[in-house]
Structure 1
Amino acid sequence: MARSRRTTPLVPAVALAVTLTACGLGEGPAGSADGRYDVSGEVAGEITFQTMQLSPTFDDFINGLIDEFENEYPEVTVEWVDVPTEGTAEKIAADAASGSLADVLDLDVATLAPLARDGRVLDMATVSAESKDSYVESAWRSFEFGDVETAALPWYLNTPVLVMNTSIVEDAGLDPADPPGTYAELVQHSSTIAEKTGRAGFQPTVRTLLNMMLSYGVPLINEDATEAVVDTPEALRLVNDLAELYRDGGIAADSMTAQPRSEIETFQEGEVAYFDTGPSRVTIIEENAPGTFESLAVAQGLESEADGAWVVAHGLAVPTTSENKATALEFARFVTSSTNQLALAQESTVFPSAVDALEDPFFSESGGTPQNEARAIAAENLTSGRTAPARHTAIDTEYEEELWSQLQLAIMGDEDPAEALTNAEQALTELLQRGRR
């Protein structure tokens, strides 16, 4: 029987921090002195489980989880609510302001951040401390928010591999078996490719620029998220490197324009040698560009000079306003168990955060295809400690886009890099401080 499901209208997205502050979320008390971390009691009663855009693709899977949990706990009823990704921030803000947050929330790190910073969710390091060693360390640490050590139980993850067009790499006299391992090495390889072949090494994007900043050792933001920190010698070296690469053709010619093609489109058309991306893109390339796929090889994802490869985490949080915390917490534990995480991964392109699930042969046996090899590389990185937790949660989409806008002309050679970084730091600081009012 189909479950009842409320729907949430899609509304225009705005900066998350601004949205939640405007709704008064930032004014509530934090901490657990008032007993809001009390998770004692029977596993019984009604709870609401809210996810981000999993319906209709995963209707059978989620409903199956709920049926199994309700069978184990006959006194429990779980109502599932699925909301579109683009509307989640607004719904969270409205529900927090009205005191009507769902009992269990499926959220990414950035969307969870305002709730966690204000102590509005249970600290899993307190109420489920025994779970810590069950999860990938970088996933567990991705939900650190100051006083709230772990704002959610990690659920599903993504982390990159480096996809290569071996035809371009070999034409440049480079060895596909010795690919770049860091963003700084990517710049060096791309310079060689441009010099030897007249083609590009990669296409920078808004997100790539930010990851490259981190890789070069640029802090991006101070400890209390009140000021940007991008006007540094390391940042100047990066912008100068990119400007020189752009001038010499080492990055895709139209990648700095107002509306460049997506990275995957540029790679599929055979115009760049390298593409740092999630493993699921390998199948998309095979379907859309079989000619390029014939020259495709997969390697370790690019890593920071100081940390590991990026990891994107979704987790299950329980608001302190839940009237049935015991049941909500038990359901979150159930959904994020090793068995259920493995089942989700086998039906999708995501990775489990549960260590035991990642050790299943489904991940460890590559099977000889690029898709399986990509999955095995990513899973091994997650279990071996080669991934880093999410960056500071104040660095959101608006921050990324402002950084790109401020440095775009400098990379294209139309503005002095040092001056551009000074202006960028000022503009980003103003952005951060606006979001904190």
Structure 2
Amino acid sequence: MLNMKNIKLFSIMMLVTVLLLAACSEDSSNESSSDNNDGGKKEIEFWTMQLKPTFTDYIEGVISDFEKENPNISIKWVDVPAADLEKKILSAVSSNTAPDVVNLNPTFGSKIAALDGLVNMDEALSDEQKSRYVQGAWKANQLNGNTFAIPWYLNTEVTLNNKAIYEEAGLDPNKPPKTYEKAMEYAKTVKEETGKYGYYPSLDLSLVLQHMVKMGADLTNEEGTKAAFNTQEGLNTFKYFTELYKNDLIPREALTGDQRETIDMYSSGQVGFFAGSNFITQIKKNAPDVYDQTFASQSITGKSGKVTLSVQNVVVPNQTKHQDAAVKFALFLTNAKNQLAFTKLVPILPSAKSALDDPYFSELPEDATATDQVRITAANQLDKAEVLIPPMENYNKLKDAMHDAISAAMLEEMSPQEALDQAEKEWNKILSE
């Protein structure tokens, strides 16, 4: 139900959406009749996020195959720059011109779902269809007990390591760090022996929150109404990063920069290891010498033992006039065959469970490359991986408040406990809005 929290979350522009959703509910009541009885061809508009031109042939091939199987449905593909997607989908929803199928991540998808703007996949799909997908990915798209998306492709966090820096520092490349404690130990050794940075734990975007969860802290109470991280685990997180920063064991950019700077420093041979499996293709292209020295290892984690799962989804807006056809295409796009083909073009994992049975995700080829290692390592972690930050209202405010607090601790403007107290106070204020 729409309330003042939702209005604040989506800005004034989204006020219009409420009226439109009410209007389109009447349209949707005739939807099944239209899909089942209309002998004319239905056009489904499908939006993706920055897949052209790299994956043009793949997407067009999927569309062609679908249209051959469903001659009464045509697909209009629109590719949107990643930086513009949220703005464009909000504008389309508010003007009642939403596409029929859209590629969105769980965080942003949940914002539209909070306005009852997306088809409930628990109702649209059968139990058998829902069972085809990795459970952790399916759960990542749930809000207030309803599932608002179908998982498309996944990834788990994998550590990339520079073998040359390990050897220069006298470290064994066969024993990369698996815990935060060991990562700090290696960071000290690399700095002392080489003058380089061993570890680059980026604190960009939601990563502060992810580090806290991996170190064993709960972000909120079960109801999501009150901060729960002002505990020993939360304090340990603040102390850990403050010590790394104060002793110059991580780059200054870990706090002040974004993930692009992480990749740049690793690609230039200045960093020993970091969580960067998503960027292995970029490293291969831009820094082939470093790529040749790169090997993959399991995610660095803490007390919780948790591993980060990243999910990309497809959603069906409620405004669609052809819900059955839109859902049918979403299922086709995310079926095991099409997902397996996609994963062989880019280092991602399928959300379709049967696709993961392919030896491609369990058997390293002879003379395996870093890309092969990333794929196998990521797949091996999938059973214990989960989306660590659930959909939360006022997410950006919460994320920024935590970053401000840990920054104050790392810059020694406050003690770690004082900074944690500040974060708790701000979170409770935001959560009560």
Between the aligned partners of 2:269 and 2:364, the Cα distance in structure 1 is 25
Which blocks of at least 5 consecutive residues in structure 2 are unaligned?
1-5
Give me the whole-angstrom Cα distance separating, in 2, the residues matched to 1:22 and 1:206: 31
Change (3 A) 1:57 1:430: farther
1:241-262 Cα shifts (integer Å, max 9, x gaps): 2222223332224533468971
Matching residue's letter, 1:277: G
Q: Distance in 2 between matches of 1:273 and 1:422?
A: 33
Q: Secondary structure of the equivalent of 1:310? A: strand
2:341 paired residue number: 343
The answer to whether the 8 A contact 2:200-2:271 is kept is yes
Q: Please, which of 94, 113, 130 is the counterpart of residue 110 of structure 2? A: 113
SS at match of 2:36: coil
Which of 351, 358, 363 is 1:360 aligned to? 358
Counterparts of 1:21 and 1:361, CA distance in 2 = 50
Matched, 1:244 2:243: yes
Shift of 1:316: 1.5
- What is the 5 A alignment of 1:289-300? 289-300=287-298
Amino acid at match of 1:42: N
* Deviation readout 1:84-109 (Å, 9 max, x if unpaired): 22222222222323333212121111
Cα distance, 1:254–1:88 mapped onto 2, change above 3 Å: closer
**Do the aligned partners of 1:303 and 1:310 also contact (CA within 8 Å) in 2?**
no
The normalised TM-score by structure 2 is 0.84
Which whole-Å CA distance do the structure 2 matches of 1:16 and 1:373 have between them?
45
Give deviations 1:77-136, integer Å, cap 9, x for gaps: 222222222222222222323333212121111120112223322222232121222112
Please give the alpha-carbon distance, in whole angstroms, between the structure 1 residues aligned to 2:325 and 2:429. Answer: 43
Alpha-carbon distance in 2 for matches of 1:234, 1:316 = 35
Deviations 1:177-236 (A, max 9, x none): 222223344234434544565543312322442221111122223444444444332121
Letter in 2 for 1:142: A
Structure-2 separation of matches of 1:335 and 1:430: 42
For 2:259 and 2:358, locate their aligned partners in 1 and report how far apart those are by CA, in whole Å.
40
Aligned with residue 81 of structure 2, among 63, 77, 84: 84
Q: Helix, strand or coil: the match of 1:221? A: coil
Q: Paired residue for 2:133?
A: 135
Match of 1:270 in 2: 269
**1:295-328 CA distance string (max 9 Å, x none):** 3221112245325321211112122332211111
SS in 2 for 1:250: coil
Name the residue aligned to 2:3: none
Distance in 1 between residues matched to 2:103 and 2:260, nearest whole Å: 31
Change (3 A) 1:261 1:338: closer
**Which is further off, 156-165 or 389-398?**
389-398
8 Å CA contact retained: 1:194, 1:248: no
Q: What secondary structure, in the 3-state scheme, does the structure 2 residue paired with 1:47 have?
A: strand
Contact 1:312–1:390 (Cα < 8 Å) also in 2: no
User: In structure 2, how many angstroms separate the alpha carbons of the residues matched to 1:320 and 1:86?
Assistant: 24
Contact 2:347 2:371 survives alignment (8 Å): no
C-alpha contact (below 8 Å) 2:210/2:389 kept by paired residues:
no
* 1:70 match: secondary structure: helix
Identity of aligned residues (%): 31
Match of 1:391 in 2: 389
Cα distance in 2 for residues equivalent to 1:186 and 1:136: 30
Q: Counterparts of 1:118 and 1:304 in 2: how far apart (Å)?
A: 36
Q: State the alpha-carbon separation in 2 of the partners of residues 398 and 266 from structure 1.
A: 29
- Once residues 99 and 253 of structure 2 are traced to their aligned partners in structure 1, the CA distance between those partners, rounded to angstroms, is 44
* Match for residue 203 of structure 2 among 203, 206, 209: 206
Classify 1:180/1:396 alpha carbon distance in 2 versus 1 (closer, same or farther; 3 Å). Answer: farther
Query: CA 1:316 to 1:254, structure 2 compared with 1: closer, same or farther past 3 Å?
Result: closer
The equivalent residue for 2:60 is 63
Once residues 354 and 233 of structure 2 are traced to their aligned partners in structure 1, the CA distance between those partners, rounded to angstroms, is: 39
Structure 2 residue aligned with 1:218: 217
Q: How much does 1:173 deviate?
A: 4.8
**Structure holding more helix per residue:** 2
Most deviating of 337-346 and 268-277: 268-277
Aligned residues: 414
- AA aligned to 2:217 is V
The SS at the match of 1:164 is strand
When residues 198 and 54 of structure 1 are mapped into structure 2, their CA distance, relative to the original with a 3 A threshold, is closer
1:396 is displaced (CA, Å) by 4.2
Structure 1 partner of 2:324: 326
Listed as ranges, the matches of 1:1-40 within 5 Å are 18-19=9-10, 22-24=13-15, 25=17
User: For each residue in 1:352-376, what CA deviation from the matched residue of structure 2 results, as whole angstroms up to 9, or x when unmatched?
Assistant: 1112222223333322211111112
SS of the residue corresponding to residue 123 of structure 2 reads helix
Match of 2:166 in 1: 169
Counterpart amino acid of residue 72 in structure 2: E
Structure 1 residues 39, 364: closer, same or farther in 2, change over 3 A? farther
| Offset at residue 338 of structure 1 (A) | 0.7
Residues 1:430 and 1:242: Cα distance change in structure 2 (over 3 Å): same
1:247 aligned partner, one-letter code = K
* Partner amino acid, structure 1, of 2:423: A
Q: Where does the alignment leave 5 or more consecutive residues of structure 1 unmatched? A: 1-14
CA distance in 2, matches of 1:92, 1:232: 39
Residue 171 (structure 1) shift: 4.9
- Asked whether the equivalents of residues 137 and 151 of structure 2 are also in contact (C-alpha less than 8 Å), the reply is yes
CA contact (8 A) 1:256 1:412 kept: no
The aligned counterpart of 2:47 is 50
Amino acid at match of 1:202: Y
- How far apart, CA to CA, are the structure 1 residues paired with 2:301 and 2:327? 35
Equivalent residue letter for 1:19? F
**Counterpart in 2 of 1:417?**
416
2:198 aligned counterpart, secondary structure: coil
Residue 59 of structure 1 deviates from its aligned partner by 2.6
CA distance in 1, matches of 2:257, 2:71: 56
Q: Does 1:377 align with 2:371?
A: no
* TM-score, length-scaled by structure 1: 0.83
1: CA distance between counterparts of 2:222 and 2:78? Answer: 36
Residues 197 and 347 (structure 1 numbering): CA distance in 2 closer, same or farther, change over 3 Å?
closer
The answer to whether the Cα contact below 8 Å between 1:245 and 1:251 also exists between their aligned partners in 2 is yes
